[in-house]
Structure 1
Amino acid sequence: MISHEPSPGALRIVIIGLSITSSWGNGHATTYRGLMRELVRRGHDVLFLEYDAPWFDRYRDMPHPSFGRTVLYEDTATLRRWHASDVGEADLVIVGSFVRDGVEVGDWVQETAGGVVAFYDIDTPVTLARLENAPPGAEVYLSARQIAGYDLYLSFTGGPILRRLEHEFGAPAARALYCAADPELYYPEHREPAWDLGYMGTCSEDRQPRVEAMLLAPARQWRAGRFNIAGAKYTDQDTWPPNVSRFAHLPTSEHRAYFNAQRFTLNVTRDDMVVAGWSPSVRLFEAAACGTPIISDRWDGIETLLEPGREIFLAETPGEVLHLLRELPEEVRRATGERARARILAGHTAAIRAAQLEGYVSETRAGAVA
C-alpha cells in the first residue's frame, strides 16, 4: 500500500472516472492508475469513485489498487447518498469523460463541491463531435452548458482545441493533461521478437481502415511476416490473413511484454482525433517507454511529441509500412526506439502529469482568490 502522511499543501482529491479497476476496452484505467499513484506519492489524499459496470466484472485486472482509496458505486443515487461529504469537502473534484450518467454526475458535483471542480477529458475530439452532432436523446457524458461550470477543463488533446474550449464553450481554463508513460511498468526487456508488427487497440469503425492499410494489407503482401492485433470487439477475424494472430484482451500487467515482443508497434488514431491533432494515445507513450519503434499515422502536433524519422516513423500506405519492416537497418530501428524512450521519459511520465495537475490547481485557486 502506497501511503504518505499529509504534507503542507496536500490536497483532498476525489476522481469520478470511467474505470481504474479494469483496462478492458479502454485506455482510461492506465492513465488514472499512474496519475493517482503519483498524486498519493506527492502527499495528496485521493479517492477514486467508479461505477460498478457489469461489463468490467470479468476483466478487473486491478480490483484493489494499492494507492489511495477506490470505491465502486451501484448507481448515481448511491454515489450521491454515500459520497456527498467526500465531494463537498474535497479541494479538487475531477469528473472524467465517459462516466455513466456523466451529465447528472457533473451537475451534482458542480452543485456540491466546495473546492475546484474539473472535467478530465481523455476523449476530447470525440466529446466535441458528440456535443455538435449527437441526435436528441442520445446518451452523453457532458453537456455543453456544463463546460463553463468546470473551473478546469483538463484535456488529453492539446493545441488549438484548448482555445476553442475557452472561446466557444466558455471554459474558464482549458489545459492539456496528456496521457503518459509509467516508467515503473514500461521499460525495455531484451527478448527475441515474436512479431514484426503489432497493434493494441479496441476495434472501432473509424480506425479500422487504417488498421487495414497499415497492418492487414502489409500482412497479406508479406506472408513471411509476423503480425498481431490485441484488442476487443473485432468480428472479422475470419477474413484476416493467416500470419495475423490476435489476443482478445491483454491486461495491463501484460502490456510491457507485448510491446517488447514486437520489432515495431503500430499507432492508429480515431478520425475525430486526427482532425483535431495533438491527441497522443496512452499506447504511444507506453510503447515508446519500452523502446519499441513506433509506426504511426499522421496528425498535426505529433512532431511536438516525437520527431518524425528520428524518434517515430510516419506512414499511410502498405508500401510505406513494408519498407520500414523489411528495409530499415536494424541499428537504425533500435536507435529510433531508444531516442523515443529518452524523449518520453524526459517529458511525459505519470509523475510529470501529477506535477502539472498540481500547477493547474494552484493557478486556478490563485485566480479565485484574486
Structure 2
Amino acid sequence: MKIAFYGSSLLSSYWNGAATYYRGILRELAGRGHDIVFYEPDAFDRQQHRDIDPPEWARVVVYDATPEALLRVMDEAADADVVVKASGVGVFDDELIEGVMQRAKPHALRIFWDVDAAATLDEMRSAPAHPIRRALPDLDMVLTYGGGQPVVDAYRGFGARECIPIYNALDPTTHHPVEPDPRFACDLAFLGNRLPDREARVEEFFLKAAALSPEKSFLIGGNGWDSKAMPANVRHRGHVYTAEHNAFNCSPLAVLNVARDSMAHIGFSPATRVFEAAGAAACLITDAWEGIELFLKPDEEVLVARDGQDVAAHLAALTPGRARSIGQAALARVRAEHSYALRGEQVDQILRDRSASITHRQQQMERA
C-alpha cells in the first residue's frame, strides 16, 4: 500500500523526540512492501540539524512552511491508500488534519497517529471544537505512541472508532552497545530537551539527586538547558545527535529516564530513550510510572525511583558489576519483546486488516 505520512520530521531529531519512533516503524513497514512518502515542514531549524540523509526506504518531501506549499503536499494525499496525520507537526497542524483527510480517496484508510496522546486529550477536554475532536468520527482509527487502556478509553469516549497503542521499541541496527566515550563519562546521564511539562520532574529526579550526591558526576544532554542553574557536579552537553546516542548511553555508570508530566500521570508510555538505553545495555534508572513492568522488570532490568532521593540512593548502592548485570538483562528483554520488527509486524497487520474491511464494506454498498 502507498502510505502518505504527515509528521514533524523523519530526517531530524532536533526538537523532535518522535524521529527515531517514526524511523523504526516506517522502515519496517517499507520492508513489508509498503511505499512510504513522509511529508515534513522546513521548520524549527530541523533541516539544519539532520541526523540522517533521506533513506532509501522512504521518499521524504520537505516543504516550505507556507500556505502555498501546504496545499501542494496536502493534494498528494489523494494518491495514497493510507493517509496518516501525526500529532505535533508544529506548523499547520489544524489545517493538515482537515485538509489531508478531505483529500483522501474514498477507499483510503484514514489514521490520526498521536505521539503525545496525554497532551492531545487534555487539549480536547478543554476545547469541544478542537480540530482532532471534530475529525474523529470520520477517521478509521487512532494509533498512539502509548498510554495503555486509559488512552484507548479516552479516545473512544471522544468518538474514535478504534484506538490502538503502538509502543516505542528498539531498532538494534541503530541502537546497540558500543565502546565508552570519555566525552560522556559520568555516574549518571540524562538526555532530554527542556520542556515546560518536564522541567519540574528533571529538577526532582536529576538535579536534586545531583545535589544530594556531591561526590558523583552528572551529565545532562538536550536543548534548552544552557540557561538553567545546576549544581557544580552537573555538566551540560547540549543537543546530542542520534549517531551519538549509543556512546551517550554506554559511557555513564547509569542513565536516567524522566517522563513528562502528562506521560507519567497516565502511565503505559515508555519514552523512546528507554528502549534506546536498554538496547545499548545501559543500566537504566527511571522515574516511577504505571505499567513499567510490562516493558522492563524492576530491580532486575531497570531501577525505579519515586523521587530524587531514590535516584541518589540507587547511585550510592550501584556498583559497575550490578550496572552491567541490569543493562545486559534489559538488552535481552527489549531485543526479544520490544523490537521495531515486532511493532512493524503489528502495524502491517492492522493496515491490511482494516483496509480489507473498508474494501469489503465498499463492495457491499455497491451491490446494494
- TM-score normalised by the chain length of structure 1: 0.89
1:146 is aligned to 135
Q: 1:174 aligns with which of 163, 168, 171?
A: 163
Letter in 2 for 1:49: Y
Q: 2:350 aligns with which of 349, 360, 369?
A: 360
Q: Distance in 1 between matches of 2:27 and 2:357?
A: 27
Tell me which residue corresponds to 1:234.
225
Out of 244, 247, 261, the residue aligned to residue 271 of structure 1 is 261
Residue pair 1:159, 1:278 contacting (<8 A) in 2 also: yes
Is the partner of 2:253 in helix, strand or coil?
Answer: strand
Which aligned pairs between 1:261-340 and structure 2 lie closer than 5 A? 261-340=251-330
Q: Is the 8 A contact 1:165 1:174 kept in 2?
A: no
1:134-159 deviation digits (Å, cap 9, x = unpaired): 699xxx7x521112222120111232
Shift of 1:76: 4.4
C-alpha RMSD of matched pairs (Å): 2.0
Which of 3, 12, 19 is equivalent to 2:9? 19
Any idea what SS the aligned residue of 2:10 has?
coil
- The amino acid that maps onto 1:186 is H
Distance in 2 (CA, whole Å) between partners of 1:104 and 1:186 is: 35
Mind listing any 5+ residue stretches in structure 2 that lack a counterpart?
362-368
Greater CA deviation, 165-174 or 295-304? 165-174
> Which residue number in structure 2 is paired with residue 131 of structure 1?
124
What is the rounded CA distance, in whole Å, between the counterparts of 1:96 and 1:250 in structure 2?
24
Deviations along 1:158-183, whole A, 9 cap, x unmatched?
32234324431111110011122111
CA contact (8 A) 1:50 1:73 kept: yes
**Inter-CA distance 163–241: structure 2 relative to 1 (3 Å threshold):** closer
In the alignment, what sits opposite 1:349? 339
Change (3 A) 1:17 1:274: same
Q: Give 1:66-215 correspondences, 5 Å limit.
A: 66-74=56-64, 75-82=66-73, 84=75, 86-99=76-89, 100-114=91-105, 115-133=108-126, 142-191=131-180, 194-215=185-206
**CA distance in 1: counterparts of 2:81 and 2:191, whole angstroms:** 36
Shift of 1:235: 5.0
TM-superposition CA deviations, 1:279-309 (whole Å, max 9, x none) = 1111111001111011111111111111111
Report if aligned partners of 1:125, 1:157 keep a CA contact under 8 Å in 2.
no
Identity score, percent:
34
Any idea what SS the aligned residue of 2:334 has? Answer: helix
Separation in 1, partners of 2:253, 2:85:
38
| 1:158–1:175 CA contact under 8 A, matched in 2 | no
Aligned twin of 1:7: none
- Residue 111 to residue 296, structure 1, CA distance change in 2 (3 Å): same
1:106-153 CA distance string (max 9 Å, x none): 1122211121011111100011112223699xxx7x521112222120
Cα-to-partner distance string for 1:252-297 (whole Å, 9 max, x where unaligned):
1111111111211111111111221111111111001111011111
Checking the alignment, whether the CA contact within 8 Å between 2:259 and 2:287 is kept in structure 1 is yes
CA distance in 1, matches of 2:188, 2:290: 24
Corresponding residue for residue 28 of structure 1? 18
Structure 1 gaps of 5+ residues are 1-10
Relative to structure 1, the CA distance from residue 315 to residue 338 in structure 2 (aligned partners, 3 Å threshold; closer, same or farther) is: same
Q: What is the count of residue pairs matched by the alignment?
A: 354
Query: Matches of 1:135 and 1:231 in 2, distance apart?
Result: 35
What SS does the corresponding residue of 1:67 show, helix, strand or coil? coil
Cα offsets for 1:20-43 (capped at 9, x unmatched): 121112211111122222222222
CA 158–210 in structure 1, closer or farther in 2 if over 3 Å, else same:
closer
C-alpha distance in structure 1 between counterparts of 2:315 and 2:51, whole Å: 33
After superposition, the C-alpha distances for 1:308-357 in whole angstroms (9 at most, x for unaligned) are: 11111111233321222121343332111111111111222222221111
SS of 1:228's partner is strand
Aligned match for 2:242, one of 246, 249, 252: 252
Structure-2 change in CA distance of 1:340 and 1:82 (3 Å): closer
Equivalent residue of 1:262, what SS?
coil
**CA distance in 1: counterparts of 2:154 and 2:288, whole angstroms:** 24
Deviates more, 1:207-216 or 1:174-183: 207-216
Q: 1:8 corresponds to which residue? A: none
| Residues in 2 aligned to 1:218 and 1:81: alpha-carbon distance in whole angstroms | 50
Q: Is the 8 A contact 1:22 1:63 kept in 2?
A: no
Structure 1 position 218, deviation (Å)? 2.2
Change (3 A) 1:135 1:201: farther
Tell me the distance in 2 between the aligned counterparts of 1:91 and 1:45: 10
**C-alpha distance in 2, partners of 1:328/1:81?**
55
Asked if structure 2 preserves the Cα contact closer than 8 Å seen for 1:213 and 1:316, the reply is: no
CA gap of 1:93–1:186, structure 2 versus 1, over 3 A, is same
- 1:83 Cα offset (Å): 5.2
Greater CA drift, 219-228 or 245-254:
219-228
Determine the structure 2 residue equivalent to 1:6.
none
